[in-house]
Amino acid sequence: MNQGLMYELAAERFLCQVGLELIERNFRGSYGEIDLIMLDRRTLVFIEVRQRSRSRFYSAAASISAKKRSRIVKTALGFLKENPIYRNNYCRFDVVAFDDTCDSPLWIKSAFTEE
């Protein structure tokens, strides 16, 4: 199992334990990929999973560039277009970040919006 998949599965387990429901993992659109798409009650949550083994200069969560955020938002719009059942749900963009280990993720709700 590759390292990226390992952290995505750890994030998924963590989020399911706190009550979110998995809709889709690794959704690919023309602008990129969204690691996890989950429901938090009626809120559709698009989740970017990040990991950094050495976070001397900045954290895993801080490593998401404005360009990457824009691609995630555009990919989320593509998901909504392909899945109209979710069009009336509130949407949120979260980050689950792992710095050094899989043991304790940092969950940042509403980490970013379209700028």
Render pLDDT for 24-80 as a digit per residue (tens, 0 to 9). 999 999 999 999 999 999 999 999 998 876 555 555 566 678 898 999 999 999 999
**Number of domains observed in the structure of the chain:** 1
Average pLDDT over every residue of 74-101: 92
Is residue 88, in this structure, part of any structural domain at all? yes
The residue segments making up the domain with residue 56 are: 3-108
CATH code of the domain in which 30 resides: 3.40.1350.10
CA pair distance 113, 115, nearest whole angstrom: 6
Residue 85 has pLDDT above 60, yes or no: yes
- Residue 46, beta-bridge partner list: 37, 93
Is residue 98, in this structure, part of any structural domain at all? yes
Is residue 48, in this structure, part of any structural domain at all? yes
Is residue 19, in this structure, part of any structural domain at all? yes
pLDDT at position 58 is 54
More confident residue, 90 or 114: 90
Among residues 95, 88, 106, 14, the alpha carbon closest in space to that of 44 is found at 88
Is residue 89, in this structure, part of any structural domain at all? yes
Are 101 and 3 a contacting pair, CB within 8 Å?
no
Is residue 55, in this structure, part of any structural domain at all? yes
